[in-house]
Amino acid sequence: MRIGIVGYQGDVSEHADILASMKKQYKRDVEVVLIRSREALMSVAGLIIPGGESTTIFRLLKEYNLFDAVAERVKAGMPIMGTCAGLILISRDNPAERVRSLNLIDARIRRNAYGRQGESFIENIEIDGIGRFSAVFIRAPVIESVGKSVTVMAKHNGLPVMIRDNNVLGLTFHPELTGDARIHDYFIDMIGRRGYISTPEREWYVADLL
């Protein structure tokens, strides 16, 4: 299974390391592809947009003609996970003037709502279907509201911090910084077993086959 990571800026290597570790830890047949071109995007079955600077990632997605291509593939069924800055990009609405949202999940986001980098923290949260998880919040955005189609998988202080809508997964925190691969394992199940089957050649919803 080929999983792409948007590879311009941010926690790219950290996500890659977690995915690489899963070959031994979870017996997953995973190949990591850094996505910097449309050709690379078309070769993967799932995509991660990492945390980092949302304005920089957005600008480079536009510059290399990937912005619309990502939206098209996800709307066709390819699973995507956005963490922190990645969540800002996949959301329906964010207040950043220099970042246009991909509008892939019905959520309104407020950037850097948890404070500056020096105010980062780790908090144990309970994630539906995964369990207790040590979540790392770094200049994290806040999910202010979600639409009816969105499932809230975890909260912190009453606010959603992990959400899902079918093939789209969004997190305000950084699962790649903990060494705990359970969220990445959950994402791999989204690609191959839970709900969606995705390949570069064809994508379909499992319900269509029943």
Does the pLDDT value for residue 130 go beyond 80? Answer: yes
Annotation marks residue 176 as catalytic = yes
Question: Could you say which of 3.60.15.10, 3.30.930.10, 3.40.50.620, 3.40.50.880 is the CATH number of the domain covering 2-209?
Answer: 3.40.50.880
State residue 116's pLDDT score: 55
pTM above 0.85, yes or no: yes
Digit-coded pLDDT (tens) for 40-59:
999 999 999 999 999 999 99
- Residue ranges of domains in the chain: 2-209
Residue 25's pLDDT band (boundaries 50, 70, 90)?
Answer: confident
Per-residue pLDDT, averaged over 72-80, amounts to 96
Collect all residues with Cβ–Cβ distance below 8 Å to 68 and sequence separation of at least 6.
none
State residue 24's pLDDT score: 87
Tell me the percentage of the chain whose pLDDT exceeds 90.
Answer: 75
CA angle 191, 109, 183 (to 5 degrees): 30
Catalytic residue among 14, 15, 156, 174: 174
State residue 58's pLDDT score: 94
Annotation marks residue 184 as catalytic = no
Ranking 99-103, 119-123, 147-151 by mean pLDDT, the lowest is 119-123
Catalytic residue among 84, 156, 184, 203: 84
**d(Cα 144, Cα 139) in Å, to the nearest integer?**
15
10 DSSP assignment? S
State residue 115's pLDDT score: 54
Report the residue count for the chain.
210
Digit-coded pLDDT (tens) for 95-115:
666 788 999 999 999 876 565
Catalytic residue among 14, 15, 176, 203: 176
Annotation marks residue 174 as catalytic = yes
